[in-house]
Structure 1
Amino acid sequence: MNTTSEPGNGIEDLTVSLVVYRPDLQQLAQTLKSLGAAYDALRETHPAFRMAVCLVDNGGLPDATGALFDELRSRGAAFSIIAGQGNVGYGRGHNLAIERACSRYHLVLNPDIDLDRAALVRALDFFERHPDVGLLTPRIGDEAGHIQYLCRRYPTLLDLFVRGFLPAGARRVFDQRLARYEMRDVINERDIVWDPPIVSGCFMLFRTDVLKTLAGFDPRYFLYFEDYDLSLRTHKFARVAYAPAVRVLHHGGGAARKGSGHIRMFAASAFKFFNRFGWKWL
């Protein structure tokens, strides 16, 4: 396994991991730019704050990608690339970075997320005010500005099938059921929601000691449901909070829109998830 890096100064305040596989370089550059801007805002109030970013290349990252890190270099953030391990999956990829993290906080971040400039300031302020919280999930918006309801109650097989694979017209029959699963009755622009059972892996901000206690993601999931698994396990050690003052934009999509290979991975991971935590059919 090859690692390239610009070293930090030992213990960091925040470490960030991103896992990429054949990434959209324009979107990745935008994610890193927004992360850099959020780091700038944090340094305005916490000048000594240090951040280190680890990009895990599961394959397909071009060799000449140094310019991607210009936004981070210019701000004094440390960065590293982990490569050569092949496509080990989403969770195992993040675990490579989590194992090396030496920080107060660790952010699991998708390469299709744009952070609001105030996101890190507000997130760290929330942690300081709520020492019992070990995992924070933000207000996640789409490109049209609408909330993406990515917090979840415990799923049934029917919920997953309807949400992931039925056409929009057929899904309308199940609107009330899906609204409950997606916690639309409590997730909004204003209110903190305490202990949502499941939160999205596109942005999971942890206290690093909690994440280390959990040993990161379960490596048995190649893709999908690793965030469901990690969320449920987190509740045993710390509180989880939806904090809508922390805002990000998500460009991602669902498994059914990504082809048959993703559908097979989704089904395989769902089987592992329900075998571990219990089957609910209807």
Structure 2
Amino acid sequence: MTITVSIALYHNDPLEVQEAVCSCLSSSLVKRIYLIDNSANNNFRSFAEDERIEYHHYPENIGFGAAHNQAIQLCENSDYHVIVNPDIAFCGDVVEQLTSFMDQHPDVGLAMPKVLYKDRRLQRLCKLLPTPFNLFGRRFASTSRWAARLNEQYELAFFDYDQLADIPCLSGCFMFVRNTVLQELGGFDPRFFLYLEDVDLVRRIGQVSRTVFYPFASITHGYQKESYHNRKVLRLHMKSAIQYFNKWGWFFDRERKRINKDTLKKLMRKM
């Protein structure tokens, strides 16, 4: 069994990066960790002291998805590849549990564990496929009743995070992916520089296999909504949203409608 990991870096908190790297190294199943650094300097090179870590520096900042693609191209022979944010931490046998689950369910292409804030509060990262109303309404009209109602459904407000479930939109902060599927799809769409690249990839994985929320293992995630505080990042977020809907469809997306309807029906049935 060969498991590889990629972590894309861009002037991150060194302590958080160290914790993420150590978390991944704690599993003997992880054979290689690729640190793909988009920072202007190469200060994170010092993190590659362990023989299982490989460091690559791209100071021109090629983007989040493109950075991970550099690693994905290098690990075509691994069984599973884990896409990890630099503000992730975990202990115990998270990798082992997810490996065992994926081994037993060959129809699953992607699994995401339960994600918690550092104070152990739950992060509700299981969602439906987004509509333009979801993404733009929750950002610019979050206080309106119609946006709130749409957001409740989009974020699956009723969902019990203690049950295993097929979810069409999972967070990219920790993606445990069957590598044959990842290689078949070619990794991330590099047109998305930052934001929505994970939504796009999970949707493409969902076209060829199951995408599953796995509640029996948990990780912690810093999770800062930077686009709510930084105008430059907000513009990147908006650009990615436009690219996403240009690709998949704005208001007439039959596949999205079918997937969301089927997801709601299955989740309601479990309640």
Please report how far the alpha carbon of residue 31 of structure 1 lies from its aligned counterpart in structure 2 after TM superposition: 1.1
Tell me which amino acid in the other structure corresponds to 2:224.
G
Matches within 5 A, 1:18-29: 18-29=7-18
Please report how far the alpha carbon of residue 144 of structure 1 lies from its aligned counterpart in structure 2 after TM superposition: 2.4
3-state SS, counterpart of residue 241 of structure 1: strand
Distance 2:207 2:35 in 1: 29
Q: Report the equivalent of 2:4.
A: 15
Distance 1:253 1:97 in 2: 25
Q: Deviations over 1:114-165 (max 9, x none)?
A: 1232211111111122111111111111122122111221212222134335
Distance 2:30 2:84 in 1: 17
- Structure 2 alignment gaps of length 5 or more: 253-271
2:4 and 2:81 in contact (8 A); partners too = yes
Distance 2:206 2:233 in 1: 28
Q: Report the equivalent of 1:144.
A: 119
Q: Deviations over 1:204-236 (max 9, x none)?
A: 111111000000000101000001111111112
Please report how far the alpha carbon of residue 64 of structure 1 lies from its aligned counterpart in structure 2 after TM superposition: 6.5
Q: Report the equivalent of 1:132.
A: 107
1:140 and 1:250 in contact (8 A); partners too = yes
Q: Deviations over 1:31-77 (max 9, x none)?
A: 1122223x1xxx4xxxxx451000001124543742x345xx2xxx6
**Which of 52, 63, 69 does residue 43 from structure 2 map onto?**
63
Tell me which amino acid in the other structure corresponds to 1:18.
I
Distance 1:135 1:61, change over 3 A: farther
Please report how far the alpha carbon of residue 187 of structure 1 lies from its aligned counterpart in structure 2 after TM superposition: 4.3
Distance 1:50 1:90, change over 3 A: closer
Distance 1:24 1:200, change over 3 A: same
Q: Report the equivalent of 2:156.
A: 183
Is 1:99–2:89 an aligned residue pair?
A: no
Distance 2:6 2:158 in 1: 32
**Which of 197, 219, 229 does residue 248 from structure 1 map onto?**
219
3-state SS, counterpart of residue 114 of structure 2: strand
1:23 and 1:61 in contact (8 A); partners too = no
Q: Report the equivalent of 1:192.
A: 164
109-118 or 92-101, larger mean C-alpha shift: 109-118
Distance 1:137 1:50, change over 3 A: closer
172-181 or 109-118, larger mean C-alpha shift: 172-181
Distance 1:163 1:187, change over 3 A: farther
1:20 and 1:61 in contact (8 A); partners too = no
RMSD (CA atoms): 2.1
Please report how far the alpha carbon of residue 85 of structure 1 lies from its aligned counterpart in structure 2 after TM superposition: 5.4
Distance 1:88 1:14 in 2: 25
3-state SS, counterpart of residue 29 of structure 1: helix
Distance 1:152 1:210 in 2: 21
Is 1:205–2:176 an aligned residue pair?
A: yes
Distance 1:147 1:206, change over 3 A: same
Distance 1:106 1:172 in 2: 41
Is 1:226–2:197 an aligned residue pair?
A: yes
Please report how far the alpha carbon of residue 203 of structure 1 lies from its aligned counterpart in structure 2 after TM superposition: 0.7
Tell me which amino acid in the other structure corresponds to 2:95.
L
Distance 2:190 2:57 in 1: 18
3-state SS, counterpart of residue 122 of structure 2: coil
Q: Report the equivalent of 1:33.
A: 22
Matches within 5 A, 1:262-281: 262-280=233-251
Question: Aligned residues, how many?
Answer: 251
2:34 and 2:54 in contact (8 A); partners too = yes
Distance 1:25 1:166, change over 3 A: farther
1:28 and 1:111 in contact (8 A); partners too = yes
